[in-house]
A and B are shown apart, each in its own frame.
Chain A
Amino acid sequence: MQVTVKLYALFRWRLFREAVREYPPGAAVSDVARDLEITETEIGIVLVNGLHADLGHILQEGDLVSLMPRIGGG
């Protein structure tokens, strides 16, 4: 199935801004992270179709996955 992946900040600098990628049916967000060699501890925010999700979220054909690094301030 095809999934659009959007990356932010250091993930984007390292890889790409947006790309359509192929994954087998039943793939989860964690499979996308593994495919891109982004470690789970680096990830701060996951969105699937604009909604907050976790790494175990199972993806569907045509989903938009956004991966963002951990951020902080204060």
Chain B
Amino acid sequence: MSTENNQQSTNPAGVLYRRCTVDLETGSVQLAGVPCANLEDVLGGFGRSFQILAARDITRAYSPENPLIVNTGLLTGSNVMTGMRSYFSAYSPLKKSGAGLPAAMWSAGSGNFGNKLKWTGVDEVIFENRSEGPVYAVFRDGADGPVVELKPADHLLGLTGHEKIMTLSREYADAHFAVIGPAGENYGSNYMGAVILSTDNQLKSGEPKSRFAGRGGMGSLMGYKNLIAIVAQSPDKLDRITPAMRDVNRDIIKSLGSARFQPVSQGGGGGTWANIEVLQAFHAVPLNNFRPKGNDDVERLYRDNVEKDFEVVSEGCFRCGIRCHNNLFHRNPDGSRGKLAAKFDFEPLILFGSNLGIHDATKVTQLIHLCDLMGMDAISLGTTISYLLDYNERHPDRRLLNGATFGDFDLIRELVEQTGRGKHELLGQGVRRLSEQVGETSYAMHVKGLELPAYLPDTNPGYIFAIAGGHMSMGTHMLYAKEGKKTVDEWVQAITTGGLLQVGYDMIGLCKFVGVGIGHDLIVNGIREATGLEFSSAEIVASVRRAYLRGLALELRQGFAEEEYTLPSQVLADPNPNVALPSFIDEAFLEELRRRVWSVFLPEMEGLVPERKN
């Protein structure tokens, strides 16, 4: 990003970003400085990419016209702690409306790829069309600006995501990587391929410690485009840390919001893992396809129980003091640290653990590890498999695929591997299509075609207004457990004021684990210190709100109908008596919620996206 005459600016139009358009069909590359049209363009991430997507009429995700947009946020590559996010946006192969049109989606990830891409001098890449043969794209910081090349990628095919990263790292020093796994390569039968991002720790240790931009099948779209990997090669270009920047980072580390994710040894809450124990107090941890039984099975996955068998090591991304990763290592017979088993965070832990009827940490680590190597979105895969197991348990006489039901570890492992290898389209296409195909949709845990994360829908009507993943784009997923809120008034308020602002972190390039509201002084100060740009808290909040509403307007334009703004019907028709929080969501509640939320949002959405041309 640059400003006109390198002046400090408060005007988005005075800010330019550098766009690189790569035509994968012809190999042509264009670089252009683009003036920002609004603050969303300046902040970046999906706030910018969704404006590009809104300008296109896309009816099929797997079509050459569907662009893959890779970009960063304003603070990616800056000294603000956690500033390293990269974003992948496109019309999704996975999320589609009842009208059959693909939804616009974005997916975000950490690791060091975003930084390196930014340091090559590129803020945004638009990959147009598709390559005839497998290629990877290299972005390099050249003497006269960014240098871009497409290279054959045949040698990478069939490798796991980690193997691809390590192979490329031997060829490209001082670089980071965004790659797909076997799942993305098998895009025709797997719509939930993730983009796998390298980390410093991974390149140094050789251990598979990648980060993932998982949601919405952006890795599958890369596979369709025959784009197997992206290399970003540049020396690190961090500015000198000023005293004011040091204050910003000190405030991040000291914020109560980030403390929840910091290591226990540092006085923190130990990451999202602690959620299990708190949610279990309400018997609200997903079990056997989001249907807790009111028992204590899940306690075997509590941190202190897992620590009996594994060494838990808190690690983090490049220069991040929050260090939210909980990496589990085997213990050698002599007690020393052995091989990495897997990363253990709330989502994969539950979705490959209790929600599949598996409560043995060793087995859960194997499933997480395998899903990661295959390069699939853990949420989409876990939730689709749990549906299959549920179906098989309900129909012992006509079981699907290998007949697995809850707890069948060996059979489930086989399902993960085979889905990653493109052998099980039934699972790879996600739970919405699967449930529609077998004709039992009531217990398919998705909203608007995107699989639910590991928070019960029984406790979160906010899911219906999430635009890119249930807990990533609407910050209401733990509201009920935390505050006991259950009136329509409270939920309208939560969705239309605080909840939607969660997406701001998917614009500016920071992690949500910074843990403060997007309009917080810390964000305003961080932007000022890192970029010289001066935007008020109110301006940032208004911009994030517009970006969210543009996303919602795009959903409507892609044919999402009123009746799709709902929860899985089992939640409404058959409330689970085992959840210790009183059931409060029924049809009447949702109808009233929808009516009131739309009455706030619809007037603000007018004119945010152009009409479809066809």
- Is B269 in contact with A68, judged by CB distance below 8 angstroms? no
- Is B260 in contact with A45, judged by CB distance below 8 angstroms? no
- Contacts A45-B482, A50-B580: A69 and B260 contacting too (C-beta < 8 A)? yes
**How many pairs, one residue from A and one from B, have CB atoms within 8 Å of each other in the complex?**
72
> What are the residues of chain B within 8 A of A50 when measuring CB–CB?
580
- Is A68 in contact with B278, judged by CB distance below 8 angstroms? yes
Among residues of B, the one whose C-beta sits closest to the C-beta of A53 is: B484
> What are the residues of chain B within 8 A of A21 when measuring CB–CB?
none
> What are the residues of chain A within 8 A of B483 when measuring CB–CB?
52
- Is B278 in contact with A74, judged by CB distance below 8 angstroms? no
Among residues of A, the one whose C-beta sits closest to the C-beta of B275 is: A71
CA distance A45 to B515 in the complex (A): 17
Among residues of B, the one whose C-beta sits closest to the C-beta of A50 is: B580
CA distance A7 to B347 in the complex (A): 23
CA distance A66 to B257 in the complex (A): 21
- Contacts A52-B483, A73-B347: A8 and B281 contacting too (C-beta < 8 A)? yes
Stretch at the interface among B62-70, B311-319, B397-405, B469-477: B469-477
Interface residues of A in 38-68 (CB under 8 A from B): 41, 44-45, 47, 50-52, 66, 68
Residue B502 lies at the interface, judged by CB distance under 8 Å to chain A? yes
Residue A15 lies at the interface, judged by CB distance under 8 Å to chain B? no
> What are the residues of chain A within 8 A of B278 when measuring CB–CB?
8-9, 44-45, 68-69, 71
> What are the residues of chain A within 8 A of B475 when measuring CB–CB?
74
- Contacts A8-B278, A45-B278: A70 and B580 contacting too (C-beta < 8 A)? no
CA distance A45 to B485 in the complex (A): 13
Interface residues of A in 1-52 (CB under 8 A from B): 6, 8-10, 12-13, 41, 44-45, 47, 50-52
CA distance A25 to B467 in the complex (A): 50
> What are the residues of chain A within 8 A of B509 when measuring CB–CB?
none
Among residues of B, the one whose C-beta sits closest to the C-beta of A12 is: B277
Interface residues of B in 258-278 (CB under 8 A from A): 259-261, 264, 269-270, 272, 274-275, 277-278
- Is B477 in contact with A71, judged by CB distance below 8 angstroms? no
- Min Cβ gap A61→B in Å is 23
> What are the residues of chain A within 8 A of B481 when measuring CB–CB?
45
Residue from the list A8, A47, A72 in contact with B277, Cβ < 8 A: A8
Residue from the list A6, A51, A52, A70 in contact with B269, Cβ < 8 A: A70
- Is B269 in contact with A73, judged by CB distance below 8 angstroms? no
Residue B304 lies at the interface, judged by CB distance under 8 Å to chain A? yes
CA distance A47 to B455 in the complex (A): 20
- Contacts A9-B269, A10-B269, A13-B264: A71 and B274 contacting too (C-beta < 8 A)? yes
Residue from the list B259, B264, B477, B580 in contact with A74, Cβ < 8 A: B477
- Is A10 in contact with B274, judged by CB distance below 8 angstroms? yes
Residue B596 lies at the interface, judged by CB distance under 8 Å to chain A? no
Q: Residue among A8, A41, A66 with the most chain B CB within 10 A?
A: A8
Residue B18 lies at the interface, judged by CB distance under 8 Å to chain A? no
Residue B331 lies at the interface, judged by CB distance under 8 Å to chain A? no
> What are the residues of chain B within 8 A of A8 when measuring CB–CB?
277-278, 281
> What are the residues of chain B within 8 A of A66 when measuring CB–CB?
281
Among residues of A, the one whose C-beta sits closest to the C-beta of B470 is: A74
Residue B478 lies at the interface, judged by CB distance under 8 Å to chain A? yes
- Is A73 in contact with B471, judged by CB distance below 8 angstroms? yes
CA distance A41 to B347 in the complex (A): 25
> What are the residues of chain B within 8 A of A6 when measuring CB–CB?
281
Residue B512 lies at the interface, judged by CB distance under 8 Å to chain A? yes
Residue from the list A10, A68, A73 in contact with B264, Cβ < 8 A: A10
- Is A13 in contact with B260, judged by CB distance below 8 angstroms? no
- Is B471 in contact with A74, judged by CB distance below 8 angstroms? yes
- Min Cβ gap B571→A in Å is 20
> What are the residues of chain A within 8 A of B304 when measuring CB–CB?
13
- Is B346 in contact with A73, judged by CB distance below 8 angstroms? yes
A-B contact pairs, 12 of them (CB 8 A): A9-B270, A9-B277, A10-B264, A41-B256, A45-B481, A66-B281, A70-B269, A71-B278, A72-B275, A73-B272, A73-B275, A73-B346
Nearest 8 CB-CB pairings of A with B:
A52-B484, A9-B274, A73-B272, A9-B277, A68-B278, A72-B260, A71-B275, A74-B471
